Structure 1
Amino acid sequence: MASSTDPEEEDGMDEFLEKFKGKKYKDGFTEDNWEKEFDKIPIFMKKAPEDLDPVKHPEVACIQSMLYDEDQSPEELAKTYKNEGNEYFKEKNYKRAVVSYTEGLKRKCSDTELTVILYTNRAAAQFYLGNNRSALNDAIAARKLKPNHLKAIIRGALCHIELKDASSAVSWCDEGLRIEPKEKQLLELRAKTDKQKRVEERNRRKATLSDKKQRVQAEALLKAIQERKIKLFEPPELPSQSADDENDGKKDNSIVRTLFNGVNAESHVVHLDENGSLHWPVLFLYPEHEQMDFISAFHEDAQFIDHLSEMFGEQSPPWDTEKKYKTANLELYFEDEQMGDLFLVDPVCSLRQVLSHPRYVVKAGNPRIIILVRGSSFCKEFLSGKNLQEN
């Protein structure tokens, strides 16, 4: 008879095993699922789970706690994080690689070579993420510790290429070639960056000439506007902008800029033709229907009646359902927004005559004319309470 301390009798193992007799184990590995099941076991995993929640993946968390035991030396921990980052890098999981390399650098280990590798590897991961400035900073940090580290030099040259800084890329390549004159990748980068450098220099020369040409054109344009006594609305300048203009001796920069800030500034701005005449982008506003017409190049000597006859001649605009916008029925006004006065414009006036009026101010580079139907109920309501002035 077994004693009362017999472990098999005490823990009921026989009874437990008896239950499995005649029953097939349903959860075992099969020919179809064994690879999937093995991949759930941390030691056999091909890559770590994206979600490292310890509740969802307790086995992985357990192994991590052993790998990253804070009782280990900074060097051991930094090496572990480096190896982890390398695995993520191979999987092209560059974001996780950056995190691992960063954790390794946080250990501040005394192994300079290991620190250089962490910086260089993180630079590579950042580079593939498109974070070229961060990658360059890591390459620079690696070279501070090891100036002749070729991988860091190559990585820095690549970053400068992506950052469109060919001169610096050439400099980095030359420094690397002084260390290893036959380094194939550096020779190829050097040839590529030298070509890019020449292109950049040519583009800079073109940009300088273009800026100079634009400046001359802008000065001629401003002079023509001032000769005609045309006033431009000048928005308040920020203190820093005003200081910059004054320091550069470009007192009229803010005035010229107002010509290019209109709604259609990208493609239609006031310009001076070869005969010395101004062409303005003009807005005709129809407040009754909340509509407008845009004339991209209104010659300063053209009369308003010419444009109105063409616009409201044979056909009415689709929004004029009552067909009341006829050239003979229209009244034109401009507004002095500061004083709130309306000035009646004679349709046979030229644009230049209106713009040169002492009370007219061109806002945002676009002269604006209000058009109403004479005698209409809307016209009477719109004009009521307004201070009307003869042009």
Structure 2
Amino acid sequence: MASAAAPAEDDGMDQFIEQFKGKKYKDGFNEDNWEEEFDKIPMFMKKAPEELDPMEHPQLACIQSILYDEDQSPEELAKTYKNEGNQYFKEKNYKKAVVSYTEGLKRKCTDVELSVILYTNRAAAQFYLGNNRSALSDVIAARKLKPNHLKAIIRGALCYIELKNYSSVIAWCDEGLQIEPKEKQLIELRAKADKQMRVEERNIRKAKLKEKKKRVQAEALLKAIQERKIKLFQPPELSSQNSDDEDDGKEDNSILKTLLNGVNAENGHVVHLDENGSLHWPVLFLYPEYEQMDFISAFHEDTRFTDHLSVMFGENLPPWDTEKKYEPDNLELYFEDEQTGGLFLVDPVYTLRQVLSHPRYVVKAGNPRIIVLVRGSSFCEDFIRKKSSRNLTHLN
């Protein structure tokens, strides 16, 4: 009996299968590529694509639409987002983990335990991103729902450590240790915070002592300057402030600020008082003829000018003195009156203290300044002539 004819709709399939007879399948899995090929199948993927393109991954897009179907209950959706966030967290993709946990919290499910986990897990992701304050906000929210949640307490203590709020670390650790007295991480965190707090307190005490010592030294310095009747130049804006602040006792502070913030203050070259009660000044010697200068960082107030000149212009004259005329016996010293612009001739045998105590001398920007000219030179005569229209006085 002849066999029944195959249905017409099967003819096409038979023909399709027939073409593979005698052909070897070349695109099958092998030991070299099976893991890579499996990772392309949604069911076996270890990691979701960074950007999901429905056209490129239609099966995965379909699975995602099922997982996040809005027809599901808030609890089911929140749990799905929690699991997704946990996977991102394991992959150390903390930013995406935060997004997933946030989406879970947006579902506002009634499962308190699940909400607590979402908050504490998001706190952990924020912590690893360095967002300590955001992480702290999350653990505080978790503890409002469940005050004795140990993970939230531990993560809160970790946040406070990073924020250097050691007293809060100790407080949170104590609360946690009441729940679990042998919790190793809390014991270690508390010990670390206690040590750091002691170090911080010691540093604060040292800073206060240093500040007090500095204030005492500054007051002694100002008193020494005032006793010598040395005047300090103050910019007009500070002078006007002093008139307003005098009743508040701030005048001395502004004077010291002007004195100790001179042009060389950054290098530590400021006036100071030694253990014997003597002042040492950073002094500028100006040579206008050659637009040069010398700087003496600590000129003892009882040292004579001639003592420094004999060193600066002794055997080795400065290279800019091409005419070799800056010899100690040829030099004249002057200081300029800040108010009138007049010159005062200084005898080289005078000490720095004698010059600074002169009624017309004003220390500017914390640095006493002396003008040095070559006696009888054409430049010296021209320089004095320009100044003589104002004033020229001998220091006596």
Same fold (TM over 0.5): yes
Name which of 344, 362, 378 aligns with 2:364.
362
CA distance in 2, matches of 1:45, 1:330: 91
Q: Under a length normalisation based on structure 2, what TM-score does the superposition of the two structures give? A: 0.72
Closer/same/farther in 2, CA of residues 182 and 15 from structure 1, 3 Å limit: closer
Q: How does 1:3-18 map to 2 (within 5 A)?
A: 18=19
One-letter identity of the residue aligned with 2:51:
L
Counterpart in the other structure of 1:155 = 155
Instruction: State the shift of 1:175 in Å.
Output: 1.7
Counterpart in the other structure of 1:130: 130
1:121 alignment counterpart: 121
Kindly report which structure 2 residues correspond to 1:188-267, keeping only aligned pairs within 5 A, or say none.
188-227=188-227, 228-233=229-234, 236=237, 252-262=252-262, 263-265=264-266, 267=268
Distance 1:361 1:270, change over 3 A: closer
Q: 1:171 to 1:312 in 2, by over 3 A?
A: farther
Counterpart of 2:300? 299
Aligned length: 377
Q: Which amino acid is 1:52 matched to?
A: E
Cα gap change, 1:290/1:326 in structure 2, threshold over 3 Å: closer, same or farther? closer
Corresponding position of 2:145: 145
Distance 2:29 2:218 in 1: 80
SS in 1 for 2:268: coil
Distance in 2, matches of 1:247 and 1:132, equals 46
Query: Is the CA contact (8 Å cut-off) linking 1:166 and 1:200 kept in structure 2?
Result: no
Unaligned runs of 5+ in 2: none
| Contact 1:284/1:368, CA 8 A, preserved across alignment | yes
- Unaligned runs of 5+ residues in structure 1 are none
1:264 Cα deviation from its structure 2 partner: 3.5
Give the aligned CA root-mean-square deviation in angstroms.
4.7
Q: Decide whether the 8 Å contact of 1:233 with 1:258 is kept in 2.
A: yes
The match for 1:275 is: 276
Deviation per CA, 1:41-87, whole angstroms, max 9, x where unpaired?
Answer: 454443345x5374997566665555445555544444333333322
Deviations 1:320-365 (A, max 9, x none): 384758354666666677x6937466372544445445452432x4
Residues of 2 paired with 1:232 and 1:295: CA distance? Answer: 20
Larger radius of gyration: 2
Partner in structure 2 of residue 184 of structure 1: 184
**Secondary structure of 2:153 counterpart:** helix
Matches within 5 A, 1:325-340: 326-328=326-328
The answer to whether the Cα contact below 8 Å between 2:284 and 2:296 also exists between their aligned partners in 1 is yes
Query: Match of 2:298, SS?
Result: strand
Q: Percent identity?
A: 69
- Looking at structure 2, the residues matched to 174 and 277 of structure 1 have their Cα atoms a distance apart, in angstroms, of 56
| TM norm structure 1 | 0.73
Deviation of 1:217 (Å): 1.6
1:182 to 1:330, Cα distance in 2 relative to 1, 3 A: same
